């Protein structure tokens, strides 16, 4: 805060300042005090600061989600391009791999079934 514009108890020429000058000083001091109070209130307004921070975090999360979605789309397209030929048909190597996986799964099922039958016949 600043000191009033007049100093001491006298104005120019050794006279006491007029009522108008004092009122002007009071009004200026009130304005400065009001600005100071507003600044302090803004610094202490936790609710609005929290809302602003939450909005920032939400915005950042949305941006990251969009980037992840774009990247997933790119990877999916890349995998599709790698697994299919120019007409969109599966490449023979992919079909062979799928057939191999299916054969292994079928083999495991058959072996499990045989073991289960053997255990059942030994228990009788």
- Do 100 and 79 sit in the same domain of this protein? no
- Do 32 and 74 sit in the same domain of this protein? yes
Question: Helix, strand or coil for residue 10?
Answer: coil
- Do 25 and 73 sit in the same domain of this protein? yes
- Do 69 and 27 sit in the same domain of this protein? yes
Position 5 in a domain: no
Could you tell me the CA-to-CA distances from 113 to 18, 103, 104 in Å, in that order? 111, 15, 14
Residue 82: per-residue pLDDT: 82
Position 96 in a domain: yes
In degrees, to the nearest 5, what angle opens at C-alpha 98 toward C-alphas 93 and 101?
125
Position 72 in a domain: yes
Residue 16: per-residue pLDDT: 63
What pTM, to 2 d.p., does this model score? 0.39
Residue 9: is its pLDDT beyond 60? no
Residue 12: is its pLDDT beyond 60? no
Residue 118: per-residue pLDDT: 85
- Do 40 and 96 sit in the same domain of this protein? no
Residue 31: per-residue pLDDT: 95
- Do 35 and 60 sit in the same domain of this protein? yes
Residue 10: per-residue pLDDT: 52
User: 99, 105 in Cβ contact below 8 A?
Assistant: no
Residues 6+ apart with CB under 8 A from 5: 21, 25, 28
- Do 94 and 73 sit in the same domain of this protein? no
Range of the domain at 104: 89-124
- Do 57 and 22 sit in the same domain of this protein? yes
Alpha helix stretches (DSSP H) within 1-124: 19-44, 46-83, 92-122
pLDDT digits (tens, 9 = 90+) for 63-110: 999 999 999 999 988 888 888 888 878 777 777 888 889 999 999 999
């Amino acid at each position: 805060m600043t000191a009033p514009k007049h100093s001491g108890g006298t104005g120019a020429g050794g006279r006491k300042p007029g009522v108008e000058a004092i009122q002007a000083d009071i009004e200026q001091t009130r304005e400065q005090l009001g600005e100071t109070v507003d600044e302090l209130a803004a610094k202490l307004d936790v609710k609005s600061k929290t809302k602003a921070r939450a909005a920032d975090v939400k915005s950042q999360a949305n941006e990251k989600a969009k980037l992840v979605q774009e990247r997933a789309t790119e990877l999916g397209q890349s995998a599709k391009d790698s697994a299919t030929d120019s007409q969109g048909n599966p490449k023979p190597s992919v079909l062979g791999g799928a057939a191999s996986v299916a054969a292994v799964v079928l083999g495991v099922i058959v072996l499990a079934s045989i073991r289960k039958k053997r255990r059942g016949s030994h228990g009788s």
